[in-house]
């Protein structure tokens, strides 16, 4: 049979036949739509509020705190930061760019901290709501085959199914189960306290982070050196070092005062521990308000003073020799006690400087070293301190004259002399060893310096942390929550009663415990059996235990 032109025409679309597949245009397949802004936000929120993300952020917080513990921080020791930058000219500026000298105020640390807080809140709060609803819901219905549960038992009884279920309700409620009876079975459940403890731990951790944030925002910490016979007023200009919170207002400082009357330190006098401090005791007087009554307190290590919403801690102590400096005209240019900083902590060899800018015609300055208990070294070539207590205090003086540099307006450390060799020149033969009461007449009639005596000082730390008590409560709740979550396990028991052969009632009991099975199930079965009797035909002698290991339930 041959095709004609008409036949070809009739085979086109007009004839209702379909063109070959190769000639058909492919059908349009709908392209998948993107998540869109809202979808990406939902996805990001889900990722942020997972426990995995919270653990990663917690690790990053701990990792970010490492440089804050190793490197000096501007809030605590700005002079050490400056010294570090001076010693490390290449590495130091790079570390400073990443806020390594101000870690806990750095934007990246605050971002990690806030993300951790949000992650925990978004993870724990929905879990707490779901847990509350689960506690209020009815216990789950009995499975179809109780014999497949990790713990199960079957027995027969003459009691009716209604009586068996009533007895099961009574027995299970006596063991503090939540019980629901329906469809010929009793469902019981308890142990939600374990999950409550787990949630309590995480909520307490959330509260702890919040309390720490409140303390860092609205609290403050300051250090002050207080000499015997002096008074410290809680104002900003009285602090040697002050670190306020980000949202702290200087006007919130409580107007209390602290006076140091006497400081006593006791040391070991023999053995390998000779010279080791055994007790520090600072006898102080304080007023909570300027017109308030005066109170006394013995300030000791780990026994702070609570005043004005702050705690005053005793950090350490040192010596403050008293000097009288007279200039070339015989006028008193300086008379005061000067705190010395320890050079050798075991026996408290200390150093300090005395500045007399009012001396005429040349300003005077002195560098001094104090040995609390002076003695000659073993080779007899130098002086050393044999004991930290001031048994025989001796001071060596090195004298300078010229321009101290205080009039230039540039800030200076009270523990360091500036311009030695340039504006400040050493006095020839201006060195002298002094004991209390001795005077050194400077060569050339430049003046004199007298070592009048020795006082002690205490270094105090004033700490105001409004988040301290909430943080303590949160820490206690976290410990209780963890202990509860480990001690309490969720348990479920089902009892089904139905008619059996011979008019007897067949009772099936099944149990499921998170973790390994407990003996509580056996006690429940024994209570349901009633008085001891011979087991019926086909009835096991004891409740059956599973052959394999118990499996945990998954809800």
Domains of the chain with CATH codes: 1-10+138-191+489-532+543-555 (3.30.310.80), 31-130 (no CATH), 217-317+462-479 (no CATH), 321-454 (no CATH)
- What was the pLDDT predicted at 9? 46
534, burial (CB in 10 Å: exposed 0-12, middle 13-18, buried 19+): exposed
Q: Provide φ and ψ at 431, rounded to 5°.
A: -110, 145
Residue 172 DSSP class: H
Sign of the torsion angle spanned by Cα atoms 275, 280, 283, 285: positive
Neighbours of 138 (CB within 10 A): 11
Q: How many residues does the chain have?
A: 555
Only one residue has tokens 């980000």, namely 246
Residue 23 CA, distance from chain mean position: 73
Residue 238 DSSP class: G
Q: Which residues contact 530 (CB under 8 A, 6 or more apart)?
A: 157
Q: Provide φ and ψ at 123, rounded to 5°.
A: -90, -40
Sign of the torsion angle spanned by Cα atoms 81, 83, 84, 85: positive
Distance CA 319, CA 342 (A): 9
Taking only the tens place, the pLDDT of each residue in 26-80 is 566 666 566 678 888 888 888 888 888 988 998 998 898 888 888 888 766 776 8
Distance CA 151, CA 208 (A): 41
Name which of 407, 275, 388, 402 is nearest 340 in CA terms: 388
Contact indicator for 481, 502 with CB cutoff of 8 Å: no
List of the chain residues with pLDDT < 70: 1-35, 75-76, 79, 409, 531-555
Q: What is the pTM for the complete model shown?
A: 0.67
Residue 304 CA, distance from chain mean position: 20
Token output for 360: 């005429």
Distance CA 92, CA 83 (A): 10
Alpha helices in 188-259 (DSSP H): 192-218
Distance CA 266, CA 278 (A): 6
Sign of the torsion angle spanned by Cα atoms 31, 37, 39, 40: positive
Contact indicator for 210, 117 with CB cutoff of 8 Å: yes
364, burial (CB in 10 Å: exposed 0-12, middle 13-18, buried 19+): buried
Neighbours of 77 (CB within 10 A): 14
Token output for 482: 């963890």
- Bin 207: left if φ > 0, else alpha if -120 < ψ < 50, else beta: alpha
Sheet holding 424-434, edge to edge: 341-344, 349-356, 363-371, 394-402, 424-434
Distance CA 524, CA 540 (A): 16
- What was the pLDDT predicted at 545? 46
CA distances from 172 to 185, 189, 495 (A): 13, 9, 10
Contact indicator for 300, 283 with CB cutoff of 8 Å: no
Token output for 45: 């929120």
Distance CA 170, CA 168 (A): 5
Which H/E stretch holds residue 371? strand 363-371
Long-range Cβ pairs for the range 467-471 (8 Å, 24+): 467/210, 467/211, 467/212, 467/213, 467/214, 467/215, 467/216, 467/218, 467/219, 468/211, 468/215, 470/207, 470/210, 470/211, 470/214, 471/208, 471/211, 471/212, 471/215
- What was the pLDDT predicted at 371? 94
Q: Which residues contact 6 (CB under 8 A, 6 or more apart)?
A: none
Contact indicator for 295, 326 with CB cutoff of 8 Å: no
Name which of 182, 174, 190, 173 is nearest 135 in CA terms: 190
Contact indicator for 422, 406 with CB cutoff of 8 Å: no
- What was the pLDDT predicted at 137? 86
Residue 343 DSSP class: E
Angle at 390 between CA 384 and CA 395, to 5 degrees: 55
Token output for 89: 């000219």
CA distances from 35 to 30, 45, 48, 49, 314 (A): 15, 14, 17, 19, 60
Nearest-Å Rg of the Cα atoms of the chain is: 41
Distance CA 38, CA 18 (A): 45
Is omega for the bond preceding 361 within 30 degrees of 0, making it cis?
yes
- What was the pLDDT predicted at 516? 77
């Amino acid at each position: 049979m041959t095709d004609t032109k008409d036949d070809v025409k009739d085979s086109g679309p007009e004839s209702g036949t379909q063109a070959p597949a190769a000639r058909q245009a492919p059908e349009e397949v709908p392209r998948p739509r993107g998540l869109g802004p809202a979808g990406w936000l939902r996805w990001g929120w889900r990722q942020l509020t997972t426990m995995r993300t919270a653990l990663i952020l917690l690790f990053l917080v701990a990792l970010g705190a490492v440089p804050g513990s190793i490197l000096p921080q501007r809030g605590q020791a700005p002079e050490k930061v400056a010294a570090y930058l001076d010693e490390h000219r290449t590495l130091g500026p790079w570390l400073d760019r990443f806020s390594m000298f101000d870690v806990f105020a750095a934007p990246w640390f605050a971002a990690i901290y806030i993300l951790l807080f949000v992650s925990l809140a978004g993870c724990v709060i929905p879990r707490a709501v779901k847990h509350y609803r689960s506690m209020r819901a009815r216990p789950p219905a009995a499975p179809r085959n109780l014999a497949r549960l990790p713990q199960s038992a079957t027995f027969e009884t003459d009691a009716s199914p209604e009586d068996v279920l009533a007895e099961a309700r009574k027995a299970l409620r006596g063991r503090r189960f939540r019980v629901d009876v329906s469809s010929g079975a009793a469902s019981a459940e308890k142990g939600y306290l374990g999950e409550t403890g787990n949630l309590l731990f995480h909520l307490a951790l959330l509260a702890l982070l919040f309390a720490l944030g409140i303390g860092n925002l609205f609290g403050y910490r300051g250090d002050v050196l207080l000499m015997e016979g002096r008074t410290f007023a809680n104002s900003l200009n009285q602090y040697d070092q002050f670190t306020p919170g980000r949202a702290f207002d200087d006007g919130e400082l409580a107007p209390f005062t602290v006076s140091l009357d006497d400081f006593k330190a006791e040391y070991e006098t023999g053995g390998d521990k000779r010279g080791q401090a055994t007790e520090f005791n600072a006898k102080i007087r304080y007023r909570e308000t300027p017109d308030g009554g005066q109170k006394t307190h013995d300030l000791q290590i780990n026994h702070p003073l609570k005043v004005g919403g702050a705690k005053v801690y005793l950090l350490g102590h040192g010596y403050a020799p008293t000097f009288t400096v007279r200039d070339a005209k015989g006028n008193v240019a300086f008379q005061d006690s000067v705190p010395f900083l320890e050079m050798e902590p075991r026996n408290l060899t200390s150093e300090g400087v005395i500045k007399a800018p009012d001396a005429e015609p040349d300003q005077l300055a002195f560098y001094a070293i104090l040995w609390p208990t002076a003695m000659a070294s073993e080779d007899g070539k130098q002086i050393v301190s044999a004991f930290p207590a001031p048994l025989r205090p001796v001071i060596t003086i090195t004298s300078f004259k010229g321009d101290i540099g205080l009039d230039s307006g540039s800030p200076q450390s009270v523990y360091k002399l500036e311009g030695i060799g340039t504006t400040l020149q050493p006095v020839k033969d201006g060195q002298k060893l002094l004991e209390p009461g001795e005077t050194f007449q400077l060569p050339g009639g430049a003046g004199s310096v007298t070592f009048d005596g020795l006082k002690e000082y205490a270094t105090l730390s004033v700490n105001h942390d409004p988040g301290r008590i909430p943080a303590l409560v949160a820490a206690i709740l976290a410990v209780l929550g963890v202990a509860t979550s480990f001690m309490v396990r969720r348990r479920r028991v089902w009892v089904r009663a139905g008619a059996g052969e011979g008019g007897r009632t067949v009772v099936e009991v099944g149990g499921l415990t998170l973790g390994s099975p407990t003996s509580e199930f056996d006690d429940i079965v024994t209570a349901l059996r009633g008085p001891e009797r011979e087991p019926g035909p086909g009835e096991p002698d004891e409740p059956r235990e599973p052959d394999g290991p118990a499996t945990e339930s998954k809800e």
